[in-house]
Amino acid sequence: MYYKIFIEKILVKIFQIQGIYEIFQNFDLKKWGTVTFIIIGKILFFTILLIILEFIFNKGVRFIGRRIVYSTHFLWDNILYENKVFDSLAHFFPLSIGFLLIKPFFKNYHTIIIYLEKIFDILFVLIVLQFWIRIVNSIMRIATSENNHQTIAVRSFSQLLKIISIIFCILIIIAILTKNDLITVLTSLGAITAIVILVFRDTILGFVSGVQMASTKMIKVGDWIGIRKYSIEGTVIEINLTSAKIENFDKTITSVPTYDLISTAVTNFEVMRQKNIRRIKRSILFNIQSFHFCNQDKLKKFQHVYLIKNYILKKQKEIDFFNKEKNIDIRIDLNGRRLTNIGLFRQYALEYLYQHPKISQSETLMVRHLEPTPYGLPIELYCFTNTSESIKYEQIQASVFDHLLTAAKEFNLEVTQVTKKEFFLKNG
């Protein structure tokens, strides 16, 4: 019984082996290997031929392009050559020849012809995309050679155009691979429109911002701006579709979304720099307890000060006439009108600014009281230097306040200064 079972198993194995042999025999391995070798050989020869054609046409087009560029005096053809636009043109010729040679090379292999035609269609799309992007880059470089408000619109539009071109070419490649027309692919993408808008939200906002900045002439590359929201102050070095780069005065680079340049408060100092002026708006805090009326001895002393000599004589005559007309008893300080040390200092500071050679006399110039604080009365200087250069501006501002802070002592005015004891009492 066991012998019969063993014989049956051996027969089953023999039949299985016989079936595999028949499959291999029908498959004709030798013939299949020969066909495969022929196809691989043809593909290698076809590829080598395309590489040779690419090399020849690339060298030829470059040579012709170089001769054209060197023989003209135009700027735009140099830019086209530098951006390798002619190289992209050279790719069309070998690809066109290769596409025409597909059927003669592989006339007995219909499947390979179909796949190769798809590959060449995709290559044509990619080369057209490369050519188009290089053209757009060249146009942008030509149009943005000067920093003006149109530059922003050109740069934003060109970047948006490149993004749209890339998306369009991807859709064409999908249509080629799926054997569908472009309209069918676009229709199928309608369901994910909301997702596409969400993904490209910053791009859309950046493009709108660039067009708005160009039309309203708000900001351009090279402008000196300040953004209080981010505590940024520096020079705009680039405005593209999604972000703007600002070089701070400490030479660091800050990138902000382009949309923020129109959606947040931005201070543009460029007009000030064009006029070559810069504002000084700083105050000195005086102790109110040091304020007092000036007696005759003090007035005689101040009458020898060149800047306020005429002011004192004029005001004193005016005050004496008023007091005499009103029959006021001037033995009491509170009666009538009198000059004060803070008033004389304020006039001295004003005359000092009028006489200063580095302070612009054509712009607003004043010395004024601000609202009193618990620490004293601020006297603010509001004027403009006749330069916008930062180093010179800081030097002028420092020299003005160096002089006035020192001159305040001559008027018996006390500049408020918190001592260590007062600081610890306040914070302890």
Q: Answer for the pair 121, 102: CB distance below 8 angstroms, yes or no.
A: no
Average pLDDT over residues 215-222: 76
Measured distance CA(164)–CA(159) in Å, rounded = 9
Q: What is the pLDDT of residue 151?
A: 63
Q: Answer for the pair 187, 198: CB distance below 8 angstroms, yes or no.
A: no
**Element at 380 (helix H, strand E):** strand 377-385
- Report residue 23's pLDDT band, with 50, 70 and 90 as the boundaries: very low
Q: What is the pLDDT of residue 291?
A: 92
Average pLDDT over residues 206-211: 73
* Two structure tokens written together for 82: 């530098």
Q: What is the pLDDT of residue 396?
A: 95
Length of the chain: 428
- Report residue 17's pLDDT band, with 50, 70 and 90 as the boundaries: very low
Average pLDDT over residues 380-395: 92
Please write the tens of the pLDDT for every residue from 223-259.
888 888 888 888 888 887 778 889 998 889 988 888 8
What share of the chain has pLDDT > 90, as a percent?
20
Pair type for strands 377-385 and 278-286: antiparallel
Q: Answer for the pair 284, 405: CB distance below 8 angstroms, yes or no.
A: yes
Question: What are the Cα distances from residue 241, in Å, to 27, 82, 112, 137, 267?
Answer: 60, 24, 43, 14, 21
Measured distance CA(97)–CA(102) in Å, rounded = 9
Measured distance CA(213)–CA(264) in Å, rounded = 13
Q: What is the pLDDT of residue 268?
A: 85
Q: What is the pLDDT of residue 20?
A: 43
- Report residue 193's pLDDT band, with 50, 70 and 90 as the boundaries: low
Q: Answer for the pair 366, 346: CB distance below 8 angstroms, yes or no.
A: no
Q: Answer for the pair 296, 333: CB distance below 8 angstroms, yes or no.
A: no
Q: What is the pLDDT of residue 328?
A: 74
Q: What is the pLDDT of residue 34?
A: 65
Q: Find the helix packing angle between 341-355 and 390-407, rounded to 10°.
A: 150
Q: Answer for the pair 241, 340: CB distance below 8 angstroms, yes or no.
A: no
Q: What is the mean pLDDT of the chain?
A: 79
Sequence-distant (6+) residues with CB within 8 A of 80 are 69, 86, 135, 138
State whether residue 255 is helix, strand or coil: strand
Instruction: Check the CA dihedral 333-338-341-342 and report its sign.
Output: positive
Q: What is the pLDDT of residue 404?
A: 95
Question: What are the Cα distances from residue 353, in Å, to 46, 271, 283, 366, 391?
Answer: 85, 23, 14, 9, 19
- Report residue 24's pLDDT band, with 50, 70 and 90 as the boundaries: very low
| Lowest-pLDDT range of 5-19, 85-99, 277-291 | 5-19
Please write the tens of the pLDDT for every residue from 109-134.
777 778 888 888 888 888 888 888 88
Please write the tens of the pLDDT for every residue from 172-189.
888 888 877 777 777 766
Q: What is the pLDDT of residue 33?
A: 53
pLDDT exceeds cutoff 60 at 400 = yes
Please write the tens of the pLDDT for every residue from 55-95.
888 888 777 777 777 777 777 777 777 777 777 778 888 88
Q: What is the pLDDT of residue 192?
A: 65
Residue found by looking up tokens 């020869």 in the block: 45
Measured distance CA(5)–CA(9) in Å, rounded = 6
Measured distance CA(236)–CA(245) in Å, rounded = 6
Q: Answer for the pair 88, 130: CB distance below 8 angstroms, yes or no.
A: yes
pLDDT exceeds cutoff 50 at 43 = yes
Q: Answer for the pair 299, 316: CB distance below 8 angstroms, yes or no.
A: yes
Measured distance CA(418)–CA(287) in Å, rounded = 11
Measured distance CA(7)–CA(4) in Å, rounded = 5
As beta bridge partners, residue 379 has: 284, 369
Q: What is the pLDDT of residue 405?
A: 94
Q: What is the pLDDT of residue 95?
A: 83
From the list 345, 347, 329, the residue with the least C-alpha distance to 337 is 329
DSSP designation for 119: H
* Two structure tokens written together for 394: 């800081």
Please write the tens of the pLDDT for every residue from 158-175.
777 887 888 888 888 888
Q: What is the phi-psi region of residue 331: left when phi exceeds 0, alpha when psi lies from -120 to 50, beta otherwise?
A: alpha
From the list 411, 425, 422, the residue with the least C-alpha distance to 379 is 411
Sequence-distant (6+) residues with CB within 8 A of 43 are 112
Q: What is the pLDDT of residue 395?
A: 94
DSSP codes, 259-272:
THHHHS-EEE-HHH
